[in-house]
Structure 1
Amino acid sequence: MKFREMTTTQLQEESLIDLAFAILEDKKNSLTLKELFDDIQHYNGLTDEEMASRKPQFYTDMNIDGRFLAIAENQWGLREWYPVEQIEEESAPTVKVRKKKDKVVDDDLEDLDEDEIVFEEEFDEFVEDDDEDEDDDDEPVIEFVEEDIDEVIEEDLIDEDDDEFEIDEELDEEDEE
């Protein structure tokens, strides 16, 4: 579309998104959103108030239209200018994964609340069991005797030291010869 050859009436009847496409195609360079709005307003003849009221819908249309590509923050170009390998777009699944984690946590919290309610209902059944447990304290208690274990440990240590001492003496005798 050759927007420079169009009359003012034709430019005013043209949709903003098609006019933006024609401007970017004519300039063959990416523009910031503000520059694009200013060019559209210049060619279309819209007032500041009219342009301000149309900006949200225009921005939405640019995001939806497959011909446009957000290159950097607030920088727009035409998708056909960039090979597929060069385009780096945020992938939606990354965001969805985070949302799923939040939902899972919320579901877990709901499950915990339900479990607590069930537990509170069942807890009353076990309250009487506490009195019965106190009677079972008559079982014999096994006591730990440290003396026996210490003697066994000392004997093991002495035996090991004796063996090492004998080995050391044999090595010393061999060195002397």
Structure 2
Amino acid sequence: MSIANLSRDELREQSMIELATMVLEREKKAMNYLDIFNKVAEIKGFSEEEKEAFIAQFYTDLNLDGRFLTLGAGQWGMKVWYPVEQIDEEITAEPKKKKKKKKKVTKAAVEKAIEEEDLTEVPLDFAEEDYDDEDIDLGDDDIADDEFDDEGFDEEDDLSDDDYEDDEDDYEEDDEESK
């Protein structure tokens, strides 16, 4: 069906999406959203108030209808016109990165930076390279072990599972007596 084959009344009875399909098929190229809408509004005979009322609905319908494809920058086309690979390329076109210019470093700037450097700090590479864990004397390790002697701890005093079971039995007996 094409716009030329329909009467004015038949065109006004068509939905905006059907008219958009006809407009794009007649133009045979992707078009700007507003251009499509203005042609549809012209065919339907919309007043300015009706255009304002229907423009958002038309955009929603274009998005939801599976026959249309947004190409970015407000351009819309028919999905059947584009192979899947081309769609991915157009949608995911990567922006070109700008190269940063390197600053020229003068000898005077390097010398000034060296002068301003705080010489009281110990360089990290000095601290890491010159010391090993073996070089550090931690003192007498035997003293720490002696402080936590197990004096006064008798293994026989250790509670066994049997002791816990006896306690549970006592609680059960108390519960039965209270009932």
Q: How high is the TM-score relative to the length of structure 2?
A: 0.48
More helix by share: 1
When normalised by structure 1's length, the TM-score is 0.49
